[in-house]
Amino acid sequence: MKRRSLLAAVAVLGAMALVASACSNDESSSAGSTGSSGATGAADCNTEPGCVTVAEGEPIQIGTLLSISGDTKNLGLDSQYGAALAVDYLDGTFDATPGQILGHDVEMVNEDDGCSADGGQKGATTLAANPQIVAVIGTSCSSASLGVADKILSEKGIVTISPSATNPALTTAGTHQPYYFRTAHNDRIQAAVVSDFAVEKLSATTGATIHDESPYTQGLTDGFKANFEANGGSVTSEDAINSADKDFKPLLTKIAQNAPNVIYAPDFNPACALIAKQKATTSGLENTTLLGSDGCSDASYTDIAGSSADGVYLSGPDLTAFSGGDFYQNDFLPAYNEQYGTEPLSVFHAHAFDAMNVLVKAIESSAVENDDGSLTINRVALRDAVQNTTGYEGIIGTISCTPDGDCATSVTIGVYKVPDVGFLNPDAKPVFTETKTLDEVA
């Protein structure tokens, strides 16, 4: 797939209208450009949150706020690599050399969200304090975003696009922050697909859920319950754990007293893997099927759980359904392996690649190229350009952003059976796959 087709046109009517109202005598803006790329005329930077001016010869600074250390580092590094590969591919080739946007280099400024509210606050505060940060790819985790990073960055007018934060509240009216977007699926969809799998393929009528303290996992278990009960099932036990806990045998023994058909435990590792390992030796749960989701999905899962995880089902993006499949298989994955020396570490690398490219197209369409070689990027115009993204053909599929920030509105979720899972083998086929839109789920 060539870049011309991969980076399809993005609708930017709102952004163009904003920059067209520019004031040429604004001292904080430079004179308009006659260049063929980007917006023309001077950007109005008098109104908060103002503009970013990138001087001639200076790079465009794009932040990342991803979980790149600790137990969830594979999740964040996987997305960081995907975003970096998008910058590499700006010139239409993967050559380990970053490309340019409107004649300017791109500098990625990487912060760690720690997959926690504290990490999200610290990283977002650092990025927000840098007036040259144009936008941010992040966060990895919903706990780092919800009411934390999304709010801090929105208050500064910094567009944020998450490749993997999936909690429904992030894009729900009333809690959605105006500069927040995501290419990740909304977990209302994933929870519904897991419920459908349990009912349709496992004939489950009873279930238990286990979530940790994160918004991500509770969003999934709440969504599973709503859809499972709507399908006639009964959730007999809803339990919460601390993600730092190591011993889940007492909890599993309690659940076994009224053994359900399924347990849905979409927790982060190592808790997710430890639950699988300890469930395998819990009397009474021999006929109970364990389900998890993409928080479990990295190599540490099988490293910890070992063969005890065999037969567990994990849901996540169906990598085999990506509409950019040829490009993904023949170009993207080989470049990932060559540049980082590994197969993908998790399942959101393509979402990060698409997030960066959506951002790039929005910058290209909303930035003003000035006569002195500088760029003026109006923060409101940039937000509106992302907001008006329609019909963008990325790796993961067609991306069109809603007013509340969901940009992946029709999503294909796969359910994989361990050990044949996509994060260990990109060619792995899901045992169940379903495509849903937000309008179709509870």
Strand locations in 163-233 (E): 180-182, 206-211
Distance, in Å, from the CA atom of 180 to the CA atom of 45, rounded to the nearest integer, reads 21
pLDDT for the residue 423: 65
CA 327, CA 357: separation in Å to the nearest integer?
15
pLDDT digits (tens, 9 = 90+) for 392-409: 999 999 999 999 999 998
Contacts of 296 (CB under 8 A, 6+ apart): 266, 267, 268, 269, 272, 273, 314
Range of the domain at 112: 3-184+348-402
User: What per-residue confidence (pLDDT) applies to 420?
Assistant: 85
Whole-angstrom distance, CA of residue 157 vs CA of residue 316: 31
Query: φ, ψ for residue 184 (rounded to 5)?
Result: -65, 155
Residue 35 lies in a domain: yes
Is residue 325, in this structure, part of any structural domain at all? Answer: no
Kindly state whether residues 43 and 134 are assigned to the same domain.
yes
Q: Is 45 exposed, middle or buried (0-12, 13-18, 19+ CB in 10 A)?
A: buried
Q: Which of 106, 138, 176 is nearest to 363 (CA)?
A: 106
Residues 131 and 209 in one domain: no
Same domain? 10 vs 103: yes
State pLDDT tens for residues 257-272. 999 999 999 999 999 9
Do residues 297 and 194 share a domain? yes
| Chain position carrying tokens 């917006």 | 39
291-301 residues labelled b (16+ CB within 10 A) or e (exposed): bbbbbbbbbbb
Same domain for 130 and 223: no
Q: Could you tell me the CATH number of the domain that includes residue 158?
A: 3.40.50.2300
Is 177 contained in some domain?
Answer: yes
Quick one: pLDDT at residue 297? 82
Compute the Cα dihedral for 34, 40, 43, 49 and give only its sign: negative
- Name residues of the chain where pLDDT drops below 50: 1-37, 40-41
Of 206, 331, 350, residue with least CA distance to 264: 206
Q: What confidence score (pLDDT) does residue 38 get?
A: 55
Please tell me whether residues 87 and 134 are part of one structural domain: yes
242 and 363 co-located in one domain: no
DSSP string, 364-408: HHHPEEPTTS-EEEEHHHHHHHHHT--SEE-SSSEE---TTSB--
153 and 247 housed in the same domain: no
Q: In whole angstroms, what is the distance from residue 109 CA to residue 113 CA?
A: 13
Is position 324 within any domain? no
How far is Cα 365 from Cα 388, in angstroms, rounded to an integer?
A: 11
Count of structural domains within the chain: 2
Say what the pLDDT of residue 35 is: 38
Interacting residues of 25 by C-beta distance below 8 A, sequence separation 6+:
none
Residues 133, 202 within the same domain: no
Q: Name the token pair of 323.
A: 């509409």
d(CA 435, CA 71): 30
pLDDT of residue 332: 96
**CA 63/CA 85 separation, integer angstroms:** 15
The pLDDT, as a whole number, for residue 442 is: 65
**42 within a domain of the structure (yes/no):** yes
297 and 361 housed in the same domain: no
